[in-house]
Structure 1
Amino acid sequence: MAGKRWDGLARDVGRGLFEALLAVLAGIALLVAAVVGVALTPLGVGVPAARAALLGVRVLAQRQRRNATERYDVPIAQPYRRDRPVVLRDPATWRDLRWLAVEIPVGLVLGLMPLIFAGGAVNFVVLSAIWAFRPWPEALIAVPALLFAGALARLAPAAARGALRLHALACANLLAPSRRALATRVEGLTRSRAEVLDASALELRRIERDLHDGAQARLAALGLSIGLAEQLVHARPDEAVQILAEARASGDQALADLRSLVRGILPPVLAERGLAGAVAALAAAMPLEVEVGFEPGITLSAPAESALYFAIAEALANVAKHSAARRATVRVRRAG
C-alpha cells in the first residue's frame, strides 16, 4: 500500500514538474508571441505571427482541458465555435489568453507543490539523521524532525494530488465557457428543438394529407368499383369487365401513390448516396439551375440527414413554385 502511495507521488512529482516547465517555457513564449503579433496586426505584418501564436495558445488550452478531464475528473466544456477561425473576434480566444497569463505563475507554483511536499519529507528525514549524531541533548531534535518527516510523508501523496487537482480546477474556472455563453447555447438548442418539432408536425400533416387525397381516395373508389362489378357480372358482364379494368388501373395508381409517399418519408437515394448525393440528385431534378456545396467532414445521424434533406427539398420547391428565380444555391456547413 505504501509502495503504491509513493509510486503515485513520484508520478505526481513528474507531472507537476512537466506542468511547471510547460507553463513557464511554452506559456511565456506563446503569450509574448501572441501579444506582439496582435500589436503588429494593424501594421499588416503581425497577422501570420498572431494567427500562429493564437493557434498555439488554443492547442495548449485544449491539452489542459483534456488533462483536467482525463486525469483529475474536472470536465471543461469546449467553448469554440466551429464556424469561427482563431481570431480575436472569437470570445474563446480572449478566454485562452487570459488563462495563459494566469497559468504561467499559477501553473509554476502548483506544479512545483508535489516536489515541495516530497522534498520536504526527504529533507526532514536527512535532518533527523544528522541531528541524531549530535551530542546530547541536541540529538533530541532528531525526534521531532523525524516525526515531522513522517507526517509529511503521510500527507505528501494526497497533498501533491490535491495541488494538481487544484490546478485543474483553476484552469476549469478560466477555460470553461461563461454562463452567458452557456445560456446562449441552451437558447439556441431550445430554438432548434422547437424548429425540429414544428418540421416534424408539418411532415406528419403532409403525410396525412397525401394519404387522404391520394391513396385513400383511390382505394375507396376501388372498393366501390369492385362492388359495382360484382352486381353486374351476371347481368352485364361486358360492363363488369370494363369496370374491373378501370379498378385495376386505379389500384395501380394507388400503389404508385403509396410508393411515392414512402419515398418521400425515407428517400432511397439518401440511403444509397448519402446526404450530399441525395441533395445533388434533388438539385438535378429541379426546373432551375441549383448549385450545391457541402463543407467537408460533416457527418450527421440518419434522422438529422433526413430532416435536413426534407428541409432543403421544401426550400427548393418553394423557390421553384413561388419565385421567378433562374438559379439557386444550397450551402451546407456546420455553424456551431
Structure 2
Amino acid sequence: MSAETKSDDRVTRARGTGRAAVRGLALALLTLPGAVFCLTLSLVSLALIPVGVGIVTTPWVLTGVRAFADARRLLAVKWCGIRIPSAYRPLPADANPWTRTFTMVRDPATWRDLRWLPADMTAGFVTALLAGVLVFYPLEGFAIALGLWRVLPDGYWYAFVPVTGQATALAAGVLGGALLFLAHRFTSRVLAAHFRLTRALLTPSGAELAERVRVLTETRRDAVDTSAAELRRIERDLHDGAQARLVAMGMDLGTIELLLDTDPGKARELLAHARQSSVDALAELRDLVRGIHPPVLAERGLGDAVRALALRLPVPSEVSVELPGRAEAPVESAAYFAVSEALTNVVKHAGADRIWIDVHHAGERLRITVTDDGRGGAALGAGSGLAGVERRLGTFDGVLAVSSPAGGPTMVTMEIPCVLS
C-alpha cells in the first residue's frame, strides 16, 4: 500500500471517528429525555385504563413509543448497518378505541418496547455518551496543556491527573493524546455497541417467532383446505350442472337425427329445447367462472369489481374507492371474496337499510371497510361467516376487526399488507 493510500485511509478513519462521536453525543442528548418521557406517559396511561381515560390515551401513547423505537431502528441501519426487526401486530386504523387499546396491550412487542425504555435511559445513554466523550474529552486535556490550567480552580482533576501546574498540565495533555488514540480505535465500536444493545432488547424472542410461524402455518393450511374444497365444489357444479345439460343436449341431438325424416315437427321442438339447454349450460359455466375469478376483477381491478358486487345487492349501497394502482392478483382475489362474504352476511343477518363500502390503500396496506346500519351484534367466532373471512385474510397476513354493538351500526374492517403496482 502506498504512502498516499495510507494517508487517505487515516483521514477516512479520522472522519469516521469524529462522525461517530457527534452522533453518539447527539443520541445521548435525545436518549435520556425521550426515553423518560415515553416511559412516564406509558405508565400513566396504562394506569388510567381502569377509569376509562387510558382507553382513549393508550393507543396514542403506545403509537408514540413505537415511533420512538422505530426511529432508533432507522438510525441503527443508517449509522452502523445493524438491522433491528420490527414485529408489531397490524392494527386496523378504523378500529374503536377499546379494540385498539387492548390489541396493543396484548401485543408482546408493546411490552418489549416498555422493557427497552429503562435500559435505553441507563445503559443506552451511557454507551451513546461514551462515544462522544472518547473524542471530546481529550480536547480538554490539550486545552489544559496549552494554558487553560492557569484559569482552573485549585484542586482540579483531569481524569486521574491533579492539575497543579505546567508539568501536570502537560501530563493531562499526554493523557488526552492517549485517550484520543483509544477514541480513534473504539469510538465507532462503542456506538455500534449501543445499537447492539438496542437490538438485543427489541428483537422478538424465539417463542414469539415460533408463535408467528405457527399462525402462518395454520393460515397456509386453511388456504390449502379451502382450495381443495373449492376444487371439489367446482367438480360438483360441473358434474351436476353444465355437464348434465351437455349430456342431455347430446341425447336430444341424437333423437333429432332420427326424427328429421319421420317427424320434422317433433325434431324442430327438440331442436328448440337443445338450443335452450345450450344457453342454460353457457350461463352456468359463466357463473362458475365468475365464482372462480370474476372477469371484471381480472379486467378492471378490485375497485370496479366491488362496485359490481354492490350493484347486485338488494340493499342500497355506496362505494368509495381510492386505489392509485393494482395489487397482485391473489391479493385482489382474496380481498374481493372477503368483501363478497361480508356483504352476504349483511344481507342475510343484519336487516340493514343501507351499506357503505370504502376501499383505499395507505401505508402499504389495502384497507376495506364495510359498514351497515343494521341490528348489530356481529362477532367473530366458530360458525360465523366472518371467521371464514378472517382465515382468508390470514393467508396473506391480513387482519379483520369487527365493531358491532347491539343495535348497530356494524363496521367490518379488513386489512392486507400489499404494494400497489
Given residue 65 of structure 2, which amino acid in structure 1 is its aligned partner? V
> Retained in 1: the 8 A contact 2:124–2:197?
no
The share of aligned pairs that are identical, in percent, is: 40
Contact 2:116 2:201 in 1 (8 A): yes
Specify the code of the residue in structure 2 equivalent to 1:191: E
Contact 2:134 / 2:179 at 8 angstroms: preserved in 1?
no
Q: Per residue, is there more strand in 1 or in 2? A: 2
Which moves more between the two structures, 85-94 or 102-111?
Answer: 85-94
Separation in structure 2 between the aligned mates of residue 229 and residue 59 of structure 1, nearest angstrom: 77
Instruction: Name the TM-score, length of structure 1 as normaliser.
Output: 0.73
Letter of the 2:85 counterpart:
I
Aligned to 1:101: 118
Normalising by structure 2, what TM-score? 0.60
The aligned counterpart of 1:166 is 193
Q: How does 1:285-324 map to 2 (within 5 A)?
A: 285=312, 301-310=328-337, 313=340
Question: Deviations along 1:67-126, whole A, 9 cap, x unmatched?
Answer: 224442323222344156367734433322221111012222211233344347767888
Check the 8 A contact 1:219/1:251 in 2, yes or no. Answer: yes
Describe the shift of the 1:261–1:227 C-alpha distance in structure 2 as closer, same or farther (beyond 3 A): same
Q: Can you list the C-alpha shifts for 1:238-261, whole angstroms capped at 9, x where unaligned? A: 444443333222222222221111
Change (3 A) 1:283 1:198: farther
Most deviating of 80-89 and 26-35: 80-89
Hey, what does 1:7 align to over in structure 2?
A: 15
RMSD: 4.4
**C-alpha displacement at 1:63, in angstroms?**
0.8
State how 1:103-142 maps to structure 2 within 5 Å.
103-119=120-136
Q: Is 1:63 aligned to 2:71, yes or no?
A: yes
Q: Which has the higher contact order (CA 8 A, sep 6+)?
A: 1
Q: 1:37 to 1:120 in 2, by over 3 A?
A: same
Query: Aligned partners of 1:66, 1:300: CA distance in 2, in Å?
Result: 27
Matched, 1:74 2:90: no
Structure 1 residues 55 and 214, CA gap change in structure 2 (3 angstroms): closer
SS of the residue corresponding to residue 333 of structure 1 reads strand
Which of residues 89, 93, 96 is equivalent to 2:105?
A: 89
Counterparts of 1:301 and 1:245, CA distance in 2: 45
Q: Find the aligned partners of 1:210 and 1:49 in 2 and give their Cα distance.
A: 53
Q: Is the 8 A contact 2:23 2:132 kept in 1?
A: no
**Range with bigger deviation, 230-239 or 64-73:** 230-239
Paired residues in the alignment total 319
Q: CA deviation at 1:21?
A: 0.7
Is 1:23 equivalent to 2:31 in the alignment? yes
Report the structure, 1 or 2, having the larger helix content. 1
Deviations 1:216-266 (A, max 9, x none): 222233333334434444555544444333322222222222111111111
- Corresponding residue of 1:134: none
Q: Deviations over 1:193-221 (max 9, x none)?
A: 12111111111111111112222222233
1:283 CA displacement: 6.1
Partner Cα separation in structure 2 for residue 19 and residue 162 of structure 1: 15
Q: Is the Cα–Cα contact under 8 Å of residues 77 and 176 in structure 1 kept in the other structure?
A: yes
Partner of 1:333: 414
- Matches of 1:206 and 1:40, distance apart in 2: 52
Identify the range of structure 1 (252-261 vs 50-59) with the bigger mean alpha-carbon deviation.
50-59
1:128/1:222 CA distance change after superposition, 3 Å: farther
CA gap of 1:252–1:111, structure 2 versus 1, over 3 A, is: same
- CA distance in structure 2 between the partners assigned to 1:46 and 1:258 by the alignment: 56
Q: Which amino acid aligns with 1:99?
A: W
CA contact (8 A) 2:31 2:124 kept: yes
Give the 3 Å change call, closer, same or farther, for CA 33–207 of structure 1 in structure 2.
Answer: closer
Question: Where do 5+ consecutive residues of structure 2 fail to align?
Answer: 1-8, 93-98, 148-166, 353-373, 375-409
Segment of structure 1 superposing worse, 80-89 or 38-47? 38-47
Q: Is contact 2:69–2:113 with CA below 8 Å preserved after alignment?
A: yes
Q: 2:247 aligned with 1:211, yes or no?
A: no
- Compute the displacement of 1:160 (Å): 2.3
